[in-house]
Chains A and B, each alone.
Chain A
Amino acid sequence: MKFLRDKIDQIKKPFEKGQKFEKFAPAINALDTFLYVPNHTTKHGAHIRDAVDLKRTMITVVLALVPALLFGIYNAGYQHFIQLNEGVLPPFMDIFLHGLWKVLPMIIVSYAVGLGIEFAFAIFRGHEVNEGYLVSGLLIPMVMPVDLPLWMLAISVAFAVVIGKEAFGGTGMNIFNPALLARAFAFFAYPTFMSGDKIWVSEASTTDAISGETILGALANGKELPAQWDFWNSFIGLIPGSIGETSVLAILIGAFILIATGVGSWKIMVSGVVGAALTAMMFNAVGLTALMNFDWTNHLVVGGFAFGIVFMATDPVSAAQTDKGKIIYGLLIGFFSIMIRVFNPAYPEGVMLAILLMNTLAPTIDYFVVNGNIAKRKKRLAKSKQLKSA
């Protein structure tokens, strides 16, 4: 492998300090460090370091997303054929390829636009490219409807990265989860492409008389739910919805990976589910409207709730950062998700708004948790002063 290393070093020559393309070093470094962990050694502090770095952490999240992504691709094809083909399904590979044909361009556009902006900012600001977008870039297409025009996707990505992230100072500084921000932007900027009954099935808008709406959309409009949308179908995920959100099963595999590796906070996930379940149970008990009566177990498997709580709420930058704070943060996301679903039929998908709302509140939650520690310290000081004067 020495040959490859030598070649790369040769290519990197013009990018070194004092050379012609010095400014573009972050771009070439970003590519190089994907092949090799650099030969940097410790200069200060501890002489040895853990194997983990941000790249590894982010790639672990991408790995966790893969099951939901693969299922989403299949489901995109499945919904297309089952709705447009009068229920006759072609072979598995055809279904998958149709989905891939739809989803792959979205992923490519998302990465191309997002990473393009990230690279540009890194070069402009003279810092290395942060790996955060590896995750955001995959999350964004996964929370969009499959029929969203690519240019809208591109604009949403640009908005999320520039306004949502770089404007705050880049990775680690953003207040909102960039992927959710992209979705929220699309949701409010292009509402006709983000909700309704035509958009969730690929190429549905070309045909009349299909019912391609989501379960929550149908409930909000007071329609009867078709029989095939029961708990288990929702759990497996062969229902209309955003690309990655439908299969709770695939999301649970991702959740398992995140929790097992410690990359995603189990505290947020568990408290989020508990918060949502309790709130839904409460509404079940009241039971005044169709949405209130929607069984709490079903609440957990429909819509983007599972996807949001596993992959969006656990984004460490925009979530609460203290251990206690994470539990409160999760509980409130669960609570608000169901509240919004039940009381605001204009936005049947509550989890997105709930997480964005809690993103703004996360620093406040942490503030109170940290203040508890500060108060304890002050009390101790006062006590010791008292002892001294006594």
Chain B
Amino acid sequence: MSKDIRIKKGLDLKLKGEAAHKIADTTRSKVYAVKPSDFHGVTPKMVVKEGDNVKAGEVIFYSKSDEKVKFVAPVSGKIQEIKRGEKRVILEILIAADSQDVFVEHSKKNPNDLSTEEVKAHLLASGCWPFINQRPYDVIANSADTPKAIFISAHATAPLAADVEFVLENKLQAFQAGIDALVKLTTGKVHLSVKGKGKSIFKDVKGVSLHQVYGPHPAGNVGVQIGKISPINAGERVWTVTPQDVATIGELFLTGKFNATRTVALVGSEVKETQYYNVISGAAIADLVAGKIEGDNVRVISGDVLTGTKVKMDGNLGFLSNTVTVIPEGNVYRMFGWMPFASPSVHSASRTGLSWLMPGKKYAPNTNLNGEERALVVTGEMEAVMPLDIFPMQLLKACLASDIDKMESLGIYEVAPEDFALIDYTNTSKLEAQQIIREALDLMIKEVG
């Protein structure tokens, strides 16, 4: 039985710099990086050392807490450097790439012929496991669990997010193979959510419970869809995978190779020609954006403007990024910017600006905080962008107080930081909601597990 998902609460931010439906290849980077910080909560245990040669798909480190969960090199080459920070925390592993990739060859397999354990073992050994995320807590799935269901959102609603339908247009076969593998991992269903408006390329995917999604962002957030389809209760586990990663998993089964190439949308108001690029995970940002950016006072974000991570110009693309956004930095003063009904160039979801009178206008926001952090005063604005059946302000206050019982009863298991991204954006007091939720989830992992 499929169930449509309709959402009213939320906000579609209309930004300049949407990607045109064109794909180009990028030049091969000299150095690729794998950042353990892309996988929240993972403490890496290195398998390779500096100077080792690795193949594409070869294990370079595993997770200290779950040794079966392995992380692989996206390209073949030589381990150039293992960069460490304070307390010797591993920041990134730099791989000097060969001119052409040599892959670790796994055997081709048809997931339909395999048992649950065989599929699991294959995903773990090949380095595809980190694509599988777990709710609650929004961390890599525990390989010992059997989830209640698996959720895939193939409808991205975040501002300027890559169009999933366009990206996977030619990879439907791999996508289907990935689904076939995932079906083996749960006793429940694999739920696939697609856009409600228009015809979806995913409508013929087999083995899934298909849901059509309508409404503004965060309708495309998998957490919102879980909340509408089958909310998570205390003690339950569900898994989520993003559509591109489903296709990568599928490709592993079809070809026997871990192919880290993905299609990334280069977007944002500061990009001259916004479009899609085929690029290998961990590629140098400079190779992707060089010559394509206007001005130099910009911020490059691996991900979308609401949930992405800031990367330096000489840094590298995140392992799981589907979007790279470039927007102006906001380190400028704005005279009388606090006045109501002034500054029409800065969007406001509240009606104290003029944006609500110009619903079609596209904005080019910068990274200015547009104010200073204040005590929580205004009420009702968080609820307006929170489609889940929870009380966001009360939950945030419980999180700030580290009150575990209250967090639990107010629905902490049902949320991930990304579900609070719009609250980051709209709240008057400039409260860092995503950070508060992330820290609260980490506390829950420690205390409840």
Q: Hey, which bits of chain A sit against chain B, CB under 8 A?
A: 1, 5, 33-42, 44-57, 59-60, 63, 128, 130-132, 170-173, 260-263, 265, 316-317, 319, 321-323, 326, 366, 370, 373-374, 376-378, 380-381, 384
Q: A46-B307, A265-B380 are in contact. Are A41 and B368 (CB under 8 A)?
A: yes
Q: A51-B370, A53-B430, A171-B377 are in contact. Are A38 and B333 (CB under 8 A)?
A: yes
User: A47–B352 Cα gap in the complex (Å)?
Assistant: 21
Q: A46-B425, A51-B348, A262-B352 are in contact. Are A37 and B338 (CB under 8 A)?
A: yes
In B348-373, which residues have CB < 8 Å from any A CB?
348-353, 355, 365-373
Task: Determine whether B20 belongs to the interface, using a CB cutoff of 8 Å to chain A.
Answer: no
Partner of B371, one of A53, A263, A380, A384: A53
CB of A336 to closest CB in B, whole Å: 21
Q: Which residue on A lies nearest to B376, using beta carbons?
A: A172
User: Are B305 and A45 touching (Cβ within 8 A)?
Assistant: no
User: A110–B347 Cα gap in the complex (Å)?
Assistant: 34
Q: Which residue on B lies nearest to A315, using beta carbons?
A: B377
Task: Determine whether B224 belongs to the interface, using a CB cutoff of 8 Å to chain A.
Answer: no
User: A53–B338 Cα gap in the complex (Å)?
Assistant: 7
User: Are A384 and B233 touching (Cβ within 8 A)?
Assistant: yes
Partner of A261, one of B350, B376, B424: B350
Which residues in B have their C-beta under 8 angstroms from that of A36?
Answer: 333-337
Which residues in B have their C-beta under 8 angstroms from that of A60?
Answer: 340, 352
User: Are B393 and A41 touching (Cβ within 8 A)?
Assistant: no
Q: A40-B369, A51-B343 are in contact. Are A128 and B393 (CB under 8 A)?
A: no
22 contacts between A and B (CB under 8 A): A35-B336, A36-B336, A37-B337, A42-B369, A45-B435, A46-B424, A46-B434, A48-B306, A48-B327, A49-B370, A50-B426, A52-B349, A52-B428, A53-B338, A53-B370, A53-B372, A53-B374, A130-B375, A260-B351, A265-B379, A326-B380, A380-B231
Count, chain B residues at interface, CB 8 A: 75
User: Are A47 and B335 touching (Cβ within 8 A)?
Assistant: no
Partner of A171, one of B299, B366, B368, B374: B374
CB of A121 to closest CB in B, whole Å: 13
Which residues in B have their C-beta under 8 angstroms from that of A366?
Answer: 394
User: A62–B316 Cα gap in the complex (Å)?
Assistant: 48
User: Are A50 and B425 touching (Cβ within 8 A)?
Assistant: yes
Partner of B368, one of A37, A130, A173, A265: A37
Task: Determine whether B389 belongs to the interface, using a CB cutoff of 8 Å to chain A.
Answer: yes
Known: A50-B348, A52-B370, A57-B377. 20 other contacts (CB 8 A): A37-B338, A45-B435, A46-B425, A47-B306, A48-B305, A50-B350, A50-B427, A51-B353, A53-B428, A54-B377, A54-B428, A60-B340, A172-B375, A261-B350, A316-B379, A321-B394, A323-B383, A373-B410, A374-B409, A380-B233
Instruction: For the complex of A and B, list the 7 residue pairs with the smallest distance between their C-beta atoms, beginning with the closest.
Output: A53-B371, A172-B375, A37-B337, A46-B424, A55-B338, A51-B346, A51-B348
Which residues in A have their C-beta under 8 angstroms from that of B393?
Answer: 321
User: A17–B336 Cα gap in the complex (Å)?
Assistant: 25
Task: Determine whether B280 belongs to the interface, using a CB cutoff of 8 Å to chain A.
Answer: no
User: A130–B433 Cα gap in the complex (Å)?
Assistant: 20
User: A53–B350 Cα gap in the complex (Å)?
Assistant: 10
User: A46–B437 Cα gap in the complex (Å)?
Assistant: 13
Partner of B375, one of A55, A173, A321, A378: A173
Q: Which residue on A lies nearest to B431, using beta carbons?
A: A45
Which residues in A have their C-beta under 8 angstroms from that of B47?
Answer: none
CB of B267 to closest CB in A, whole Å: 13
Task: Determine whether B236 belongs to the interface, using a CB cutoff of 8 Å to chain A.
Answer: yes
User: A37–B365 Cα gap in the complex (Å)?
Assistant: 15
User: A51–B254 Cα gap in the complex (Å)?
Assistant: 49
User: Are B377 and A172 touching (Cβ within 8 A)?
Assistant: yes
Which residues in A have their C-beta under 8 angstroms from that of B409?
Answer: 374, 377-378
Task: Determine whether B78 belongs to the interface, using a CB cutoff of 8 Å to chain A.
Answer: no
Q: Which residue on B lies nearest to A34, using beta carbons?
A: B338
User: Are B369 and A57 touching (Cβ within 8 A)?
Assistant: no
Which residues in A have their C-beta under 8 angstroms from that of B343?
Answer: 51
Q: Which residue on A lies nearest to B382, using beta carbons?
A: A321
User: Are A37 and B380 touching (Cβ within 8 A)?
Assistant: no
Q: Which residue on B lies nearest to A63, using beta carbons?
A: B340
Q: Name, among A38, A53, A128, A131, the residue most crowded by chain B CB atoms within 10 Å (CB to CB).
A: A53
Partner of B378, one of A37, A57, A63, A384: A57
Task: Determine whether B331 belongs to the interface, using a CB cutoff of 8 Å to chain A.
Answer: yes
Q: Which residue on B lies nearest to A369, using beta carbons?
A: B391
User: Are A38 and B372 touching (Cβ within 8 A)?
Assistant: yes
Q: Contact mask B415-429 → A, CB, 8 Å, 1/0?
A: 001000110111111
CB of B388 to closest CB in A, whole Å: 11
